[in-house]
Chains A and B, each alone.
Chain A
Amino acid sequence: MKKVKILILRTAGTNCDYETQAAFELCGATAERVHINSLIENKNKIFEYDVLAFPGGFSYGDDIASGKILANEIKNKLGDKIKKFALRGKPVIGVCNGFQVLVKMGLLPDPKLFEQISTLYYNDSDKFECRWVYLKTEKKVKNESNCIWTKNLPDVITLPVAHGEGKFIPINAKLLEELNKNNQIVFRYSTKDGGTPEYPLAPNGSVERITGICNAKGNVFGLMPHPERYVFALQHPAREGCDGEYGWGKIIFQNAVDFVK
């Protein structure tokens, strides 16, 4: 069976790359942590991989704004390759700081347009918010998410968040309507039973409590919570798993690996 190859892009300040690598390898893939300078030196190397992951962390110290400097660097030095990778339908994921990078370079929500049309802004609290939250998974009519990364998830899951700039804001009401209509909203903050949460379960003031989106095709996915921090039941504060020994995050990474196979 084909060994799925994952590229985990790292730079100064990235700090979730090892966990992301471990999560993909748990799902049977071969995951490599590649420094951005190495990729810039050999841009076509990206096409040797099946999946591209932008891990969490504090790239370039969150200077200017979270993810901004890395987004600027990628867009100007690797933009055409990254866009081509995404438009080929290959899975791309951005977690937390990686999501901020995807949004600020414009790969989400529309990689064809490749312009920034939404943002992740400072939390309403002006604080770093770090806790376990509940996420409502959005469904299509046939009870199937539009996103290839979130198939087989139940209506509500739990994952941890840890961010200071996670407030999702689309450029206008028309874009918000399109995201809803095209099933591009993947996760919203919720209560344990799927209801509408207040702070602190809604940690940042996101528009319509959005915390995960994908492109219309469903292969490019970004989310503020950290699925790589809940691949084992032992990582949960109550040691709860979704399936005995594993956590919900494993399903997310497994979906991408199975999609490539």
Chain B
Amino acid sequence: MVEIEIFTKNGFKDSRGEHVLSAIAGLGIKGATKVDYAPLYIIGGDISQTEAMTIASELLSDKITEKFEISSKPQSGKSKNSVIEVLYKKGVTDTVAESVVKAIKDLGITKEVKVKTGRKYYIYGNCSQVILDKIAVKLLANALVQEYKIK
């Protein structure tokens, strides 16, 4: 299994991250200074490192504005920020994942793969666990169909 995270390159506007930061302020929460938004793709199956690179560079990221990170085990989070990871609950249809499976085949990779998609929000500043829970529940995760983890 590999996890591929997509980040906006330095110098380009991370509109989604800025939008979330503004919404956090709108909840009356102080302490968050910056939010980086990163779409997350978890790809299961017998995918080689080269194939993961191809999928990340040719399909999942924009060559002009985005960069990617590939990891084979879950990240513990960067030291100066907290991470809220939002994933669909088991049994909820992940339509983007279905599109990604199709697109991986279009790339010429014929191995069977399973894909899950999620969203990661890197939250900088001073936010307690209680505040992070509030941000996740009020803004980032729809509890009916999604679950979240704070790292």
Contacts and interface: CB of A to CB of B under 8 A. Distances in A.
Do A and B pair up? The answer is yes
Interface of A: 60-61, 63-65, 68-69, 72-73, 76-77, 104, 116-119, 121-126, 169-171, 205
Interface of chain B, main secondary structure: helix
Given A61-B96, A64-B99, A119-B63, 13 more contacts: A63-B100, A68-B62, A73-B103, A76-B107, A76-B108, A77-B106, A116-B63, A118-B64, A121-B65, A122-B15, A124-B13, A170-B64, A205-B13
Interface in B110-146: none
Contacts, number: 66
A143 B107 CA distance: 44
A126 B15 contact: yes
Given A64-B96, A121-B62, A169 B12 contact: yes
B60 interface: yes
Interface string B43-73: 0000000000000001110111100000000
Contacts of A117: 64
B19 interface: yes
A213 to B, nearest CB: 14
B151 interface: no
Interface in B13-37: 13, 15-16, 18-19
B99 A124 contact: no
A125 B106 CA distance: 32
A116 B66 CA distance: 13
A126 B95 CA distance: 21
A165 B94 CA distance: 22
Contacts of A73: 103, 106
Given A116-B64, A124-B13, A63 B19 contact: no
B89 interface: no
